[in-house]
Structure 1
Amino acid sequence: MLEKHKDDRKSPGAWRATKDGFGNGTPTSSFFPKDHPFPFLTRKFLQWTFYLLLPFIVFRFYFYPSPPPSHLAIPLSSLPLNSSPSSSSSFPPQLPEEEGILSKETACDYTQGKWVPDKMGPLYNGTTCGTIKDGQNCMSHGRPDLGFLYWRWQPQECQLPRFDPNEFLQFFADRHIAFVGDSMARNQLESLVCMVSSVSPPNLVYKNGDDDNKFRRWHFASHNASVSIYWSPFLVKGVEKSKNGPDHNELYLDRIDERWGKDLDGIDTIVLSIGHWFLHPAVYLDDGKVLGCHYCPGLNHTEIGFYDVLRKAVRTTLNTISDRRGDGIDVILTTFSPSHFEGDWDKFGACPKTEPYGEGEKLLEGMDADMRKIEVEEVESARLGIGGNQKKVRLEALDVTRLSLMRPDGHPGPYMYPFPFANGVGERVQNDCVHWCLPGPVDTWNQILLQVIKRLRRQ
C-alpha cells in the first residue's frame, strides 16, 4: 500500500510505496475529505487510471514528440549557433531498457521515406564552425534561396531523431572516428565537425599542408574525441593523374592506400566513401599485372569499364581492415551519392531545382543504382565472410543513395564561387552539381550515421 513516511508527516504530498500483492493498497492522506461519499472508490479509480494511461503517455512522447511552436522557427537571416536538442545529456549515454523500443530502432529502414518541410533548420550556418570547404559554403557565397535548409528526411517505418551533438561526443569519448575516401567523405566529415562544434569547439591538431583539407584531424577536448579526414579517392593504392604525368589514374587493386592504412590501429570507427573518381580514365593493376583500363585511348590495354574495379577496390579494403584489426572497429561504408546535372556543367541553370523531388518523381536507376548495389553487396559479403569475428569488426552500409537522389536542390551550383552573378549572368558559369552545400542534405547522412553507430554498439 501507499503510506506516509514517518519523517514527512507534515508534508501531505510525500509518499512511500510498499508492496501489497499487485499494488492493491490505499493511500492514507488528506487529499480526500473524510465525508466523501465513496472515498475508497475515488482513490482506486484515480490510481488505476494513472497506471493505465502511463504507458500510452510514454509511447506518445517518445516516438511522436510534439513539433515546436511556429514562433520558434529559425529565421532565414540568422541561423542558430547552437540548436542542440540536448545540452546536458547524461554520460555515459543511456540505452533504452524496453525491448520493444530497441527492436523498433534496430528494424528501421532509413532508405525508404520522403523529404518533409522542417521549421527547425540546421544546427550551424556558414560562418559558425570554420571548417567548411570554400566551394560548399553556399550561404556565405550569396545563394539567395535558403529553402533547401528546411527539410528533413522522414523514414516510412520510424522517426529519425534530430542529430544530438552531445550524444555523439558521449559515444566517441576517448575514441577516434576517421573519414576515408574522396571529396564526398570530406563533405560528410565537414558536416559532422560543424554539427558537433555547436556544443564543443573543435581544435585542429593536425594538417598536412593546405591542399584542400585532405589530411586533417580535429580534437574535441571536452570528451577527448578525435575526428579525422584521409584523402583516398580509391581506398586502394592509387596514383592520381597530374599535369606532369600521365593523363589517367593508376589503381593497384590488391592493396589498400597506406596513407590511411598505417593508422588503422588507432581508429575506432572508419567511414568509407568512394565512387565518383572511378568514372575517370584509369589503368588497373593487380599483383603487378595490368588488368585493363577505363577510357584509355592510345594505350594498348583492354577496356574493362569500372564496375568490377569498384567492387574489387571495396572488397580489398573491407578484407584488409578485417584481417588487420582484432580489437574491435566499426566499419561504415557511405553509399554512392548521385549528381544532378541538367545540361552542360558550365551553363547557367545546370542544377536549378529549389525543392526536393516528390514521391515517384525520380527513380533510382542506371549508374546510380549500379554503384549503390555493388557497395551494399560487398558490405554484406564481407559481413558474412568474417563470420564469428563480427563482435570485433562490425560492418554496415550507410545507404544514402536514394535520399540524396531526391535532393537536386542541395548542391552549390554556381555558388561554388562567391557571388557569381555580381556583375550579371555570364555566358559561361561553372557549376557544382555533385557536392553538397553545408549546411544541407549531407547533414542527414550524419543523423543516420549516429543511429547506426548506436545500434552497432548495442550489439
Structure 2
Amino acid sequence: MKSSSKPFDHKFHNYGKKESCANLLIKGLPFVLTSLFIATILTFFFLYSPNPLTLLPNQTHDEFIDNHSQIEEHEHANDFIKHHSQNLNLNQEHEDQHVNISKPSPSKPNKEKKTCDLFKGHWIRGLRGSSYYTNSSCPTIPDSKNCFKHGRMDNDFLNWKWKPEQCELPMFDPKIFLNIVRGKKMAFIGDSVARNHMDSLLCLLSQEEIPKDIHKDSEDKFRTYYFPKYDFTLMILWSRFLIVGEERIVNGTDTGIFDLHFDKVDEDWAKVIPELDYAIVSSGHWFFRLMYLHQGGKLLGCVYCSEKNVINRDSDFTLRLAFEATLNYINNCKECRKGKLLTILRTFAPAHFEGGIWNTGGYCNRTSPINKGEVDLNRFEWNLRNVQMEEFMKVKNNNKGNIRFEILDVTNAMMMRPDGHPGQHWGNKWMKGYNDCTHWCLPGAIDVWSELLLAILQREGDQERIMSFGLE
C-alpha cells in the first residue's frame, strides 16, 4: 500500500500526515477517473476519426477546429436522443412508446430552437461509417438509387455531417420520428426527387419498423406504405408541375411539349389533401422544357418556344406561378380540419452536371463536398430557391389560420454536394451512357433532409406546446 500511495502523497501534500492512505485514495479517485476518461476519448478519436490531424484541401482553420470537435458533436446528438428517449413512456403492450409531453418552463421557452437557422451552415466530417443504414439493411431501397450495387467504389461521401452555424442538428432517431407522427398521414407531393426523399425516409424508418407496402399504381408513381406499430401512413403523390400540365401528343407519340394551366392544380394530390396531417411539397426539375403557359383561358407566354407574338418567359416566372397556385389552394382548403395540416415546402435541390447536361455527356464524378465559399449564389438554382421562399413567405404571412406552413430549405446545403449523385451508377439498362446527376444515392447526402424534417416537426411541436400553455 505504501508504494501505491506515493503518487498521491505529492498531490495532496498539504493534507495532514495522519490522513490514512485509504482516504487519500478515495479523495484522489476523481483525478484518476478524469484522466482515464480523457485518455479513452482521445483513443476513440484517433482510432475512428479519418485522418484526424490532416487538413483537407481548401479547408479553413475554423473547419479544422470543427473536425476536432466531431466527437463532441456526436456526443451532443446522442445526448439529445438519450434525453428524448428517456421521456418516452412504455404504456402500450409490446412496449409501444408515446412521447411524454411535459409543460415547458415559462422562464425558458427554448429560444435557441426558435431562432437557430438550421439551413445556414457547412459540411464537416463525421465518424467513419456514419450512415444510418446500408444498401443491404434497407429493404425498400430503389434499385436506381442503390449506387453501391451498381459499382460505385468510393464511400467517403457518406462521412459528412451538416453543421448549422449557431446550433447542432441532432442525429436522426426513427423512434422519435415515428412517435411524433403516430396515428397520422404524411405525403410527399412532387416529382421524382420528392420520391427520392420519401425513399430516404423509408430507409431511415425501416431501421425501427419494416413498413407494409399497401398501394402501388401501375407506373409506380403513387405509392403508400404503412407502419402498423405506429399506425403511420407514408405516401408519394407524384406530380410533375403541381398544377395541371398536359403533354401534347402527335400521332400517338409524346412530344415533350406541355401546356401548363395555372388556374388548375393537379387533382391527383389535391383530392388527398384533406386526409393529410403532413404535406411535403416540392417541384422544379420539370420546368426546363418547352411549355405554353395558360391562365383564365389566356396564353401568358411560353418557355423556349421563340415564337412571334408570344411572350418568352423564363423558368423563374413559371415556377413562381405554379407555387403560388399550389400554396394558395392548400391555404384555402375548406375540407381541411383547422390546425390539422402542416404543409412543408422543400426548396429546389440542384443537379450537378459537369461538361454538359444529361443528354450531352454531362457527368458528376466528384467524391467529396465543396466548401461553402465555392458555392455560386448567382446560379439559377439559387434564383429558383428564392422564388420559392418568396411564395412561401407570402402564404405564411397571409394564411387563413387553418393550415400551418413551414420551410425545408435544402438548396444551400445541397449546392455543396456534387458528390452525392448516382452518376453512372444507377443501373438503367435502357439509358446506358447517360449519367444521373439529379437524384441522390441511398444511403447518402439526401438523408440530411430527414434530419432537418425531424427537427422541423420537433420545433413545430414545441411551438404548439408553448402556445397552448400561454407562454407567448
Shorter-chain TM-score range: 0.7 to 0.9
Could you give the per-residue CA deviations for residues 292-347 of structure 1, whole angstroms, max 9, x where no partner exists?
A: 11112568733222212211111111111111124221010110111111102468
Aligned-pair CA distance for 1:68: 11
Distance 2:154 2:428 in 1: 15
Structure 1 gap segments, 5+ residues each: 1-36, 38-45, 47-65, 76-82, 421-427
Q: 1:400 aligns with which of 397, 410, 414?
A: 410
Matched, 1:108 2:116: yes
Q: 2:99 aligns with which of 93, 97, 103?
A: 93
Question: Contact between 2:212 and 2:226, CA under 8 Å: does it hold in 1?
Answer: yes
Matched, 1:333 2:335: no
Distance 1:68 1:413 in 2: 37
Distance 1:196 1:407 in 2: 23
Aligned-pair CA distance for 1:359: 3.6
The residue aligned with 2:234 is 227
Distance 2:226 2:331 in 1: 26
Matched, 1:410 2:417: no
The residue aligned with 1:151 is 160
Secondary structure of residue in 2 paired with 1:92: strand
Distance 2:43 2:410 in 1: 27
Distance 2:450 2:390 in 1: 22
Question: Contact between 1:347 and 1:431, CA under 8 Å: does it hold in 2?
Answer: no
> CA 1:184/1:349 → structure 2, altered by over 3 Å: closer, same or farther?
closer
- Map 1:1-400 onto structure 2 (within 5 A): 69=44, 90=88, 91-94=97-100, 97-98=104-105, 100=108, 102-119=110-127, 121-209=130-218, 211=219, 213-240=220-247, 244-297=253-306, 301-324=310-333, 325-328=336-339, 329-344=341-356, 345=358, 350-386=363-399, 389=401, 392-400=402-410
Question: Contact between 2:256 and 2:289, CA under 8 Å: does it hold in 1?
Answer: no
Distance 1:130 1:405 in 2: 29
Larger mean Cα displacement after TM superposition, 289-298 or 261-270: 289-298
Q: 1:458 aligns with which of 455, 462, 469?
A: 462
Could you give the per-residue CA deviations for residues 146-177 of structure 1, whole angstroms, max 9, x where no partner exists?
A: 11111110011000000110011001111001
> CA 1:164/1:246 → structure 2, altered by over 3 Å: closer, same or farther?
same
Distance 1:225 1:201 in 2: 12
Distance 2:43 2:332 in 1: 48
> CA 1:305/1:165 → structure 2, altered by over 3 Å: closer, same or farther?
same
Distance 1:334 1:435 in 2: 15
- Aligned residue-pair number: 380
Distance 1:245 1:349 in 2: 24
> CA 1:373/1:348 → structure 2, altered by over 3 Å: closer, same or farther?
closer
Distance 2:403 2:462 in 1: 14
> CA 1:336/1:382 → structure 2, altered by over 3 Å: closer, same or farther?
same
> CA 1:284/1:258 → structure 2, altered by over 3 Å: closer, same or farther?
same
Secondary structure of residue in 2 paired with 1:303: coil
Aligned-pair CA distance for 1:186: 0.6
The residue aligned with 1:62 is none
Aligned-pair CA distance for 1:133: 2.7
Larger mean Cα displacement after TM superposition, 323-332 or 179-188: 323-332
Distance 2:255 2:408 in 1: 34
> What amino acid is the match of 2:98?
P
Question: Contact between 1:141 and 1:419, CA under 8 Å: does it hold in 2?
Answer: no
Secondary structure of residue in 2 paired with 1:219: strand
Distance 1:348 1:274 in 2: 25
- TM-score, structure 1 length as denominator? 0.76
> What amino acid is the match of 2:124?
V
Structure 2 gap segments, 5+ residues each: 1-17, 19-26, 28-40, 51-77, 89-96, 464-472
Aligned-pair CA distance for 1:125: 1.4
Distance 2:42 2:114 in 1: 24
The residue aligned with 1:429 is 433
Distance 1:124 1:204 in 2: 20
Secondary structure of residue in 2 paired with 1:377: helix
Secondary structure of residue in 2 paired with 1:201: coil
Distance 1:221 1:410 in 2: 32
Larger mean Cα displacement after TM superposition, 175-184 or 298-307: 298-307
Larger mean Cα displacement after TM superposition, 367-376 or 448-457: 448-457
Distance 1:336 1:184 in 2: 10
Aligned-pair CA distance for 1:241: 5.4
Secondary structure of residue in 1 paired with 2:123: strand
> What is the identity percentage for the equivalent residue pairs of Structure 1 and Structure 2?
35
Distance 1:74 1:240 in 2: 52
- TM-score, structure 2 length as denominator? 0.74
Distance 1:68 1:153 in 2: 25
The residue aligned with 1:16 is none
> What amino acid is the match of 1:309?
T
Aligned-pair CA distance for 1:111: 1.8
